[in-house]
Amino acid sequence: MKIVGWIVLVLSLTLSQVWAQTKKPASIAELASYLGADREQLLYAGAKVEGKVVWYTSLAGGSYKALADSFEKKYPGVKVEAFRASGSELTVKLEEETKARRYIADTIETTEGNLMFMRDGKLLRPYNSLHLKSYPDDAKEPAEKGLYHWALARESYVGFMFNKTLVPKGFVAKGFEALLTPELKGRMGISIGETSGKILGAMIRTKGEEFVKKLKAQEIKLYSIDAPALVNVIASGEIIASPAIFQTHTLLAASKGAPLEWAPMDLVPTNVGSAAVAANPPHPHGALLMADFLLSPDGQAVLEKYYYGSATKDQGFKKWRPERGLTTDNYEKDLLRWEKLLRDITRK
């Protein structure tokens, strides 16, 4: 009887182990952390039943539409309903929907500063992905139990852009010191907003605040338009350069024939858009499948066509994410400090 009991015990344990190994995740919590080799097939099967995924994004232009189209082609039967707005608008929308217990969003792609507010407001669900093995540690925002609040899906780099047909002969855009070139006096512009504040933060970090104050003598014009619109102003020749333009916008304009060139400075503020999952996604399989897609080689390839950088590649210059490692309060204080300094050193 003892032998029979022992055999029954061994069989029970063996069957339990087999069951544990073959048991598929069912809840959103289990799905979010599941890293089995069949993760994609599992998520796709569930997403087809759900029928759609609702994606909140702050990507501009045609890039988010191209991503949605590529996703739908790869996963037939799963429709992407994309809602595009600024990161701050997405944050407010999620907050209001959560208060009303109206859960609409599945996957979120927006900038890190706004994701910090979403994280602190418990609006995000930590998750994992097989694709994250290809990403460096600083490209993933860790949560508990080996999960992540978000991971970098795209990078945009802020640097010096100039009209190469109008800059002084022999001009070399090498480092922040180039901004003090006498021939650039009164011929540079900068747009109001976070992007310009971040370049001042980079200058302070590398050259000190006194260097930034020297720029007042350069009579840099402050524009009330956004940075993408300022690209057109420089291309037209109204001004000839700006220290705070995205490489993405420069390359896009140059591809259409604009005589523009972009150069990294001593430190390059990097604006990132990251893939996150809503805390209570109504389409959990689709939510995770979309997040995985944004981080996958297929999703990255689409973004690269729109001149976004990838955290998985070395860009050849020193990147800096101003939000990284800060609390939301400290980050807001930095933004306000940089905005005041921007107004102090520019002219209208």
Judgement on whether residues 105 and 222 belong to the same structural domain of the protein: no
- Assess if residue 292 is contained within a domain: yes
Q: The domain that contains 300 carries what CATH number?
A: 3.40.190.10
Lowest model confidence (mean pLDDT) among 98-112, 215-229, 281-295: 215-229
- Assess if residue 67 is contained within a domain: yes
For the CA atoms of 286, 287, 288, 290, what is the dihedral angle to 10 degrees?
A: 80
Judgement on whether residues 211 and 334 belong to the same structural domain of the protein: yes
Count of structural domains, the chain: 2
Judgement on whether residues 336 and 205 belong to the same structural domain of the protein: yes
The mean pLDDT value of the chain amounts to 92
Give the pair of three-digit tokens for residue 313. 């590649």
Judgement on whether residues 151 and 161 belong to the same structural domain of the protein: no
**Nearest CA among 80, 32, 45 for reference residue 59:** 80
Q: What gap in Å lies between CA 45 and CA 51, rounded to an integer?
A: 10
pLDDT in tens, 65-111: 999 999 999 999 999 999 999 999 999 999 999 999 999 999 999 99
Judgement on whether residues 202 and 343 belong to the same structural domain of the protein: yes
Lowest model confidence (mean pLDDT) among 22-36, 130-144, 161-175, 291-305: 22-36
- Assess if residue 323 is contained within a domain: no
CB 264 within 8 A of CB 286: no
- Assess if residue 12 is contained within a domain: no
- Assess if residue 11 is contained within a domain: no
- What's the pLDDT band for 10 if we cut at 50, 70, 90? very low
- Assess if residue 281 is contained within a domain: yes
Give the residue numbers spanning the domain of 303. 27-155+271-316
* Cα distances (angstroms) measured from residue 235 to each of 132, 140, 162, 167, 241: 39, 37, 8, 12, 9
- Assess if residue 216 is contained within a domain: yes
- Assess if residue 21 is contained within a domain: no
127: helix, strand or coil: strand
Question: pTM for the full model?
Answer: 0.83
Judgement on whether residues 176 and 106 belong to the same structural domain of the protein: no
Judgement on whether residues 219 and 99 belong to the same structural domain of the protein: no
Judgement on whether residues 151 and 216 belong to the same structural domain of the protein: no
Judgement on whether residues 101 and 128 belong to the same structural domain of the protein: yes
One-letter identity of residue 62: G
Q: What gap in Å lies between CA 295 and CA 278, rounded to an integer?
A: 16
